Structure 1
Amino acid sequence: PHPPPPPPPGGAAAPPPHGDIGIGELVSCVALALFLIGPLSEFSWVNAELAQGRASADRVAGVLGARPAVTAVPPAGRETAARRVPVEGRLRLRDLTYGPLDAVDIDIDAGETVGVVAVNPADAVALLHCLGRRADPERGAVELDGRALTTLDLAEARRAILVAEHDADLFEGTLLENVVAVGPAEGRGAVTSAAAMSASGTDEVARSLPDGVDTAVTARGRSLSGGQRQRVALARALAADAPVLVVHEPSTAVDAVTETRMAAGIKAVRSGRTTVLVTNSPALLAVTDRVVLLRDGRVAASGVHGHLAGTHADYRTAVLA
């Protein structure tokens, strides 16, 4: 090997070999890299926000451009609806056909409490959509006091028939604010918030919370358990005091003792008002005046809960199994 070259005149240090850097250059590179972290992070954040914004804009445009699920009432019909007398609560399903439902006929008198048991959960969902006028039937009609819902103003129909679905959400606010969020129907208000909370078992929920009815509830009720959310949602539906109340499985997340109390509370608070309980709960069905069994989209049986449980195998399987 060749000997290393002699040092340059004057004792100056030899330049570093090719490919190496000095301390100053290293410090400059590290400083530049640290400086670029901020701008590059901003670029990545902007791209993520842009992608999310475009996806959200597509969804918003899809909602705004969607065709209405139900037909609007002509102006003449709206004027007639505005002059209507107070709702009596007579409900009739006449040859109702929608989705899995096929020619369903059910008559419910004003002030009657009727249970509906669906062997297929899809039948219950389709029934709720028609009663809440989230969809118009393919054939037949849902009639309120002798008038088809399709002839009523949409807001008027939904004020008259309140559908409290199983997956109802709570809102950010206090417990009491969630209970009185809907407010009583016009001209009514016989059910106080205290009575609704007692009937649904929400008073027990309030006693278990640090600030009682003034306890803050997070969005969608995530600060409460599933059973607590169900009781608060039922209290809200009862406090609305609608002429016709349709409740879907309000007690699936509570214990048997609480469920029995809720059933008795619904029966007491809704006395004299039309109530439809869409449920497979024996405790709730036991307080109804009669029960209708839906199987394969049709009415398979109708009668008192105790009689059907003892004589009808399909009913017994759906409710007691």
Structure 2
Amino acid sequence: MPLVSLPLSDPGRPDLSSPLALLRWLGRAQRRGQLLATLWSTLELGAMAALPVAVGLGVQAVIDRDARALLTAGLLALLLSGVQTAMTVLLHRQVVWNWIHAAAQVRQLLARQASALGGGLNRRISTGEIVAVSSGDVEKIGWYVELTARLYGAVLAWLGVSAVVLWRQPALGLAVLLGVPVLAVVVWPLLAPFERRYTEQRALGGRASALAADTVAGLRVLRGIGGEELFLRRYRAASQRVRAAAVRTARSWAVLQAQEVLLPGLFVIGVTWYGARLVRDGSIGVGELIAVYGATAFLAAPLRVIGEAARAWGVARVSAERVVKVLSLTREGVGVAESVGNGASDSLEGKVVAGAEGSGGSADSAELVRRAARSDLHDPVSGLTARAGRLTAVVCGDPDLAGELAARLGGRPALAEDERPKPSVRLGGVELDGVLLADARAAVLVHDKEPVLLSGTLADLLDVPRSGRVDPAAALAAARAQDALDALVDGSPECAGDPMAARITERGRSLSGGQRQRLALARSLVADPPVLVLDEPTSAVDAHTESRIAAGLRELRAGRTTVVFATSPLLLDQADTVLLLRQGRVAATGTHRELMAGDPRYRTVVTRDENAPGEPSAAVGGVPAAATAAVVASAAVSGGEAEGGAGPAGGGG
């Protein structure tokens, strides 16, 4: 079976009721592959079991001096060898495909879940756990799914051999028929200790990975405070605990593997001894003894498969339990596995949109995008309303709260374990939490505070789904990213002076923080969504560049709904409306100058002056001096751009 069908167009809806249910669902998802692998496995083991019969016939023919029987036995042995070889190739090819198919399917499910939960995923589960699930656990599940078909083939081959031997020699046949299940049952008491030890090792490994990820992420800070040795000692201790748990697991694993060799070997010795007595008594011939011995020795192969299946089940059950845990995480009380289900639910078709434009009805993704362009965005929890086609600034003294609210506006909130669902954000009456996340993102794009630049060319970075209204050049100009383009060209001689062909290193490490921030902003502007939510988009640039970005943002997004979370007067002065949030609720509304003049709470946040809540000591034309200074500073650094002047490309970061 070719691998061209991977990755899957739709990984499907998994059964998350239990780890076993997930494993069964994965098996059903590849019925054809499982059936083919079972067939090839049965034929391979059948040919392997029949080969000693041909050898026995040949030996008996030599004893009887029968040339024709010897030739027949030789041809039969050649035929069985050819069948076994062909089936081995087909079986290996098929089971590897089954393994890859199952692993790819689980990885796509995990990727879809990560996309659905967004930045809130690591608030529900540690980074180390996510890495361990998406790597080691996926491989263990693929191993078990691959082994299932071989297990079925081993059972069928065992039943076939038992029936033949039972027909030829009832006593030996009964021993073969009952001996294999007895030996297989002996394995199961060893599984419980192995599973406990593997679970412990898996949990300790996840915690060690999380500690390593946190240490790497905060390495710069650790070096600044001299904390590298402290965290290094912690990681050494954690890794030693993982090592000790792995040794305990390996001991159980070794016992399981040892019994796969010891018990079948003892069984074969016993059957051979009994057969030798039958030959001595004249009950069977030498050739028949060889055939019986070969068939009995063959049973070691099914027993090895059964033992391997027992080990695979032990690790796969633990791994499936952790995968179920990740896939069962929800956003705002809605099961992600349901909200991003299979292709049959890839639109909003059939969902009732109440209150949109004063009437209800059904809408697909394109209709939601069209409505978003002329609809207000409202959050009933905070009372925030962003008017359609206007630039709304939100001032919130708590950066974490601002980030959570920005995520809510995009219809992708992530809850803590003890947090209850909140009323959904509405876009023109449509509840964003009630639609597919892909549809919500097509209508509302959230620009994160710390966006990531993927490696590739600048053209690749800006190659995002977009309306076509804004071209990359206009977006880069509005983001004032000229110095970032120059840096990319200088670092990429192979681009021949073309910034779009210049390469961006991993996470844009060759660029400054301000340059990375402006390229990410340009990417969001190119997308040109109906509603754009920006969380501190200019926090890493200087005041001169920030002023010019604010003017470019207002000009480029004219007529489009834009929400900016910021505390910079240079950005706030460009907004049509400014909202002040206090304790998670809108406390004041107005323009930047109005709020600076009349709301001391607003001045406290914007000017970061603890004395600001008092009455202003001086005013110019009824406007406080602080507000006047902010506006004058804005005009001074803008270089006349508000009047249409181009001005030089400002530096930043």
Q: TM-score, normalised by structure 1?
A: 0.74
Counterpart amino acid of residue 583 in structure 2: D
Q: What is the CA deviation profile of residues 236-284 of structure 1, one whole-angstrom value per residue up to 9, with x for unaligned ones?
A: 0000000000001011111111101110111011010000001111111
Matched, 1:69 2:331: yes
Taking the aligned partners of 2:322 and 2:523, their CA distance within structure 1 comes to 29
Instruction: Please name the residue that 1:165 is paired with.
Output: 448
Confirm or deny that 1:130 pairs with 2:408: yes
Q: Distance in 2 between matches of 1:311 and 1:135?
A: 34
Corresponding residue for residue 319 of structure 1: 606
**1:151 to partner: Cα distance:** 2.9
Distance in 1 separating the partners of 2:526 and 2:321:
34
In the TM superposition, 1:154-233 aligns within 5 A as: 154-178=437-461, 180-184=462-466, 188-209=467-488, 210=490, 211=492, 212-233=499-520
Q: Residues 313 and 153 of structure 1: is their aligned pair in 2 closer, same or farther, counting only changes over 3 Å?
A: same
Contact 1:170 1:221 in 2 (8 A): yes
Following TM superposition, by how much is the alpha carbon of 1:58 offset from its aligned partner in structure 2, in angstroms? 10
Equivalent AA in structure 1 for residue 574 of structure 2: V
Is the counterpart of residue 264 in structure 1 residue 546 in structure 2? no
Q: Secondary structure at the match of 1:294?
A: strand
The separation in 2 between residues aligned to 1:62 and 1:220, in whole angstroms, is: 31
Whole-Å Cα distance in 2 between the matches of residues 76 and 250 of structure 1?
Answer: 32
Among 146, 168, 172, which residue is 2:429 paired with? Answer: 146
CA gap 1:105/1:207 in 2 versus in 1, 3 angstroms: same
The residue type paired with residue 400 of structure 2 is A
CA contact 1:90–1:108 (8 Å) conserved in 2: no
Larger radius of gyration: 2
Per-residue CA deviations over 1:44-81 (Å, capped at 9, x if unaligned) read xxxxxx98995367997477444222424595972134
Note closer, same or farther for the CA distance 1:303–1:217 as it changes in structure 2 (3 Å cut): same
> Is the CA contact (8 Å cut-off) linking 1:111 and 1:273 kept in structure 2?
yes
Q: Distance in 2 between matches of 1:60 and 1:306?
A: 53
Query: CA-to-partner distance for each residue in 1:168-219, whole Å, 9 max, x for gaps?
Result: 10000122321x13230xxx21100000000001233112431433221111
Displacement, 1:126? Answer: 1.9
Distance 1:220 1:310, change over 3 A: same
Letter in 1 for 2:396: A
Q: Which secondary structure state, in structure 1, belongs to the residue aligned with residue 511 of structure 2? A: coil
Contact 2:379 2:409 (C-alpha < 8 Å) held by counterparts: no
| SS at 2:486 equivalent | helix
Aligned amino acid, residue 108 of structure 1: A
Quote how far apart the aligned CAs of 1:94 are.
Answer: 4.5
The amino acid that maps onto 1:67 is: L
Where 1:163 maps in the other structure, the secondary structure is: strand
Q: 2:348 aligns with which of 78, 87, 109?
A: 78
Q: Secondary structure at 1:250's aligned position in 2?
A: coil
CA contact (8 A) 2:347 2:439 kept: no
Q: Could you tell me the percent identity over the aligned residues?
A: 38
| C-alpha distance 165-76 of structure 1, shift in aligned 2 (>3 A) | closer
- 1:109-124, aligned counterparts within 5 Å? 109-124=387-402
* CA-CA distance at 1:91 after TM superposition: 2.8
Unaligned stretches of 5+ residues in structure 1: 1-49, 97-103
What is the TM-score when the length of structure 2 is the normalising length? 0.37
Task: Quote the offset at 1:89 in angstroms.
Answer: 4.2
Structure 1 residues 245, 273: closer, same or farther in 2, change over 3 A? same
Deviation at 1:313, TM superposition (A): 1.4
The whole-number CA distance in structure 1 between the counterparts of 2:485 and 2:320 is 42
Q: Which moved more, 1:63-72 or 1:304-313?
A: 63-72
- Conserved in 2, the CA contact under 8 Å of 1:89 and 1:244? no
Aligned-partner residue type, residue 525 of structure 2: L
Paired AA for residue 176 in structure 1: A
Moved over 4 A (4+): 50-54, 56-60, 72-77
Q: How many residues align?
A: 262
Partner of 2:621: none
Structure 1 or 2: larger strand share?
1
Q: d(CA) in 2 for partners of 1:192 and 1:68?
A: 36
8 Å Cα contact 1:202/1:228 also seen in 2: yes
Q: Distance in 2 between matches of 1:135 and 1:245?
A: 16
- Structure 2 counterpart SS, 1:84: helix
Partner Cα distance (1:161, 1:238) in 2: 12
Match of 1:139, SS state, is coil
Asked if the contact 1:163–1:246 (Cα under 8 Å) also holds between the matched residues in 2, the reply is yes
Q: Which deviates the most, 139-148 or 51-60? A: 51-60
- Which has the larger share of helix? 2
Instruction: Give the match's secondary structure for 1:115.
Output: strand
**1:175–1:141: structure 2 CA closer, same or farther, 3 Å change rule?**
same
Q: Which amino acid aligns with 1:189?
A: G
C-alpha distance in structure 1 between counterparts of 2:402 and 2:554, whole Å: 21
Range with bigger deviation, 233-242 or 152-161: 152-161
